[in-house]
Structure 1
């Protein structure tokens, strides 16, 4: 019996050694993801470690990470079987920043945005007061409530993994539901929905006459080669021809950028041109962080850059819960790291539903919104300028004028102009586990 136990233990040890050996090159990324996730969910969203590890970090290999939270220091360290320690630290105003491998002390000074948040005495969505509830005669509320209910798992199920749904019709919340442990005050990570925020910041700059879609010679590093011909429009449409691999299941350009690079604006900047601009559509988080760097170059100081996103867009539309996190170099991670409540994300949808107008103030040119919703060449009608589209009929039972901000694991702000609707959904599952077409079709069927 003792020999059998020894053999079993030996096999377990060998299996453990193999797992570590086989995945050692990935451990930097695994522990980096884990430390960053736990840090942000703890100090931005105010959640407990158990819910984070069982939810956000319940990903193959990431779930092997051991996480330790230092509440006094506001930091998180993560390792896998004691290997590859990574640390993330929380900095007020800019969220959690991931430090390099085996580094436990940040050496540079962190700037934070200066925010002037106005408490406007208007009903939601334009102020801090409760909305004036309106009963719409053309809405079947029982059908709508059932559609929202169907978006969530039944007791004991773990498939759809929806955390929040908010439905706005004619600027009114007509349905809203949250999973256990979440509420209208919970800040949620938008992942790649942040790309649409970055696009909107560029739209504000364009409205102010500081940039133009067709300008080229965007970076001094490109002056002496064909990359100088790449336009701002090419970058916004993910159609620059620059090399990039967006693969979250392996070590790739995007995973190395998010979990290894101290300055995420430089990764795409260094990539060669391997395709023809406007004829090489390729989804790239590196492109969005390059655009964040382009925005930074429009200002004399980092403080002005940090302030602009909030002063001219985010706080102007009352997204006061939002935090956009920075990288180690102080650049907004415009591709991936923004946090806000579901109701505040809905406000962003309303800005685009109303063609860039917010309660009478035109923050974006209408032409900018039209451009964002125009299919880019090569995308089969699925992508515009940092927004996803239904022009190609990806969702067959939904109007083709739908466009949306989309994020990893099924984060969505759906905008349907023909129905005067904004629908927000947050969760941890996407197609096919969460059937977007069915969900949207069921919600739309409630409105005559």
Structure 2
């Protein structure tokens, strides 16, 4: 169903003619470039594609203190090889190799809890929330963690059948094994849901039936039977829909308000946009738009084991499990990627949020380092390679 739901939204997000040419506010007083008069109710995905490239990049080794919850510092003074990072930043500003790589819009770096580097290129703007693809899944996982911290779920619930929280499902019509899919398995992309392409097309002919729990009812009613564990890892939308539906069922006021107040609001994230899925709930597979500085906050939250400004927003035990690979995929936790990078003969562990087009949050606990990159590439770009070659060495002690 993923392909057809995406097609449905592409129709909704067809280019608007109402947008005039977007003008960039001139840089002044060393402030990062912004889009004036931005309305967060606009369809930011479309508006972002219409942004003119910056005439020159904005590169700062001493980011401004915006009183947005981030502690700021200075590259070099507070750590890092300034010359190496600035050289990389200038390389990022060069003409892109092609549509698949090099179209970087921002790069920010936090070291030892301080934002020490901030840069914007092309469509990057300090006040414009960048569209997020699959990294939206990672934010959804954090919302589940917030619900656990507040006692609306508990850690044991992760290993219980997800449909047990969804009382309005017509369980009599569900396929065999639907009652064995746990919330944890869904967030590890191992639900086992498999829907035939022809059935997807048939369901999409009447999208109104997919409102509310109808979307998940369709997945669990028309899938092939769910096999026993261990199941095959499959990166797909149905698994993310399970997580969002469970969240919506257990939190007061529903998932959208909960995410706004209890996750984003707690970290002073207010300049954002989050599209709705065909179900009417916040999209969980892709569809959020987040500021680059706010993306950095998510990385810092993970490095701080769920704490933000001294408050435990997410249980430490949940953060540990969310960033620990499952038996299904050695590089994937709860909608967060896990990998190692080698620099100078040593390996550094990392957690990552990744989105197609080139949105990344990289966290390196051993170095207390967070790097955020946004792009508009076709595919993932080459960030996974360039980060290892250009950013990590600047923070590894010689």
Q: Fold match, TM over 0.5? A: yes
For each residue in 1:40-71, what CA deviation from the matched residue of structure 2 results, as whole angstroms up to 9, or x when unmatched? Answer: xx99xx895899xxxxxxxxxxxxxxxxxxxx
Partner of 1:198: 140
Alignment of 1:160-199 (within 5 A): 160-199=102-141
Distance (whole Å) between structure 2 residues aligned to residue 179 and residue 134 of structure 1 = 19
Partner of 2:242: 290
Distance (whole Å) between structure 1 residues aligned to residue 11 and residue 144 of structure 2 = 31
Contact 1:265 1:292 (C-alpha < 8 Å) held by counterparts? no
Contact 1:240 1:277 (C-alpha < 8 Å) held by counterparts? no
Alignment of 1:212-223 (within 5 A): 212-216=157-161, 217-218=163-164, 219=166, 220-222=169-171
Cα deviation for residue 28 of structure 1 reads: 9.8
Contact 2:41 2:273 (C-alpha < 8 Å) held by counterparts? no
Partner of 2:313: 363
Distance (whole Å) between structure 1 residues aligned to residue 87 and residue 199 of structure 2 = 41
Distance (whole Å) between structure 1 residues aligned to residue 301 and residue 361 of structure 2 = 12
Cα separation, partners in 2 of 1:34 and 1:400, compared to 1, 3 Å: farther
Q: Which ranges of structure 2 fall in alignment gaps of 5 or more residues? A: 25-38, 47-63
Distance (whole Å) between structure 1 residues aligned to residue 22 and residue 230 of structure 2 = 45
Cα deviation for residue 153 of structure 1 reads: 3.6
Query: 2:352 aligned to 404, 407, 415, which one?
Result: 404
Alignment of 1:386-401 (within 5 A): 386-390=335-339, 393=340, 395-397=341-343, 399-401=347-349
Contact 1:169 1:421 (C-alpha < 8 Å) held by counterparts? yes
Distance (whole Å) between structure 1 residues aligned to residue 115 and residue 316 of structure 2 = 25
Partner of 2:30: none
Contact 2:40 2:273 (C-alpha < 8 Å) held by counterparts? no
TM-score norm. by structure 2 comes to 0.74
Aligned length: 344
Higher RCO (C-alpha under 8 Å, 6+ residues apart): 2
Cα deviation for residue 406 of structure 1 reads: 0.8
Query: 1:243 aligned to 187, 194, 199, which one?
Result: 194
Partner of 1:61: none
Contact 1:163 1:178 (C-alpha < 8 Å) held by counterparts? yes
Report which of the two structures shows the higher radius of gyration computed on alpha carbons.
1
Cα deviation for residue 304 of structure 1 reads: 3.9
Partner of 1:36: 13
Cα deviation for residue 413 of structure 1 reads: 0.8
Q: Which ranges of structure 1 fall in alignment gaps of 5 or more residues? A: 1-25, 52-89, 98-122
Contact 1:207 1:365 (C-alpha < 8 Å) held by counterparts? yes
Distance (whole Å) between structure 1 residues aligned to residue 268 and residue 20 of structure 2 = 23
Partner of 2:227: 275
Distance (whole Å) between structure 2 residues aligned to residue 192 and residue 47 of structure 1 = 29
Partner of 2:32: none
Cα deviation for residue 147 of structure 1 reads: 2.4
Query: 2:363 aligned to 415, 420, 424, which one?
Result: 415
Distance (whole Å) between structure 2 residues aligned to residue 47 and residue 126 of structure 1 = 31
Cα separation, partners in 2 of 1:388 and 1:252, compared to 1, 3 Å: farther
For each residue in 1:412-445, what CA deviation from the matched residue of structure 2 results, as whole angstroms up to 9, or x when unmatched? Answer: 1111111111111111237785242232331111
Contact 1:238 1:281 (C-alpha < 8 Å) held by counterparts? yes
Distance (whole Å) between structure 2 residues aligned to residue 47 and residue 341 of structure 1 = 22
Q: CA RMSD for the aligned pairs? A: 3.9
Residue range with higher mean Cα deviation, 421-430 or 216-225: 216-225
For residue 402 of structure 1, give the secondary structure of its aligned residue in structure 2: strand
Q: Does 1:154 align with 2:154?
A: no
Distance (whole Å) between structure 1 residues aligned to residue 77 and residue 353 of structure 2 = 27
Partner of 1:131: 72
Query: 2:386 aligned to 425, 429, 438, which one?
Result: 438
Distance (whole Å) between structure 2 residues aligned to residue 47 and residue 164 of structure 1 = 24
Distance (whole Å) between structure 1 residues aligned to residue 230 and residue 374 of structure 2 = 32
Distance (whole Å) between structure 1 residues aligned to residue 325 and residue 4 of structure 2 = 38
Cα deviation for residue 139 of structure 1 reads: 2.0
For residue 234 of structure 2, give the secondary structure of its aligned residue in structure 1: coil
Cα deviation for residue 280 of structure 1 reads: 2.1
Distance (whole Å) between structure 2 residues aligned to residue 274 and residue 402 of structure 1 = 32
TM-score norm. by structure 1 comes to 0.66
Cα deviation for residue 377 of structure 1 reads: 1.6
Cα separation, partners in 2 of 1:325 and 1:268, compared to 1, 3 Å: same
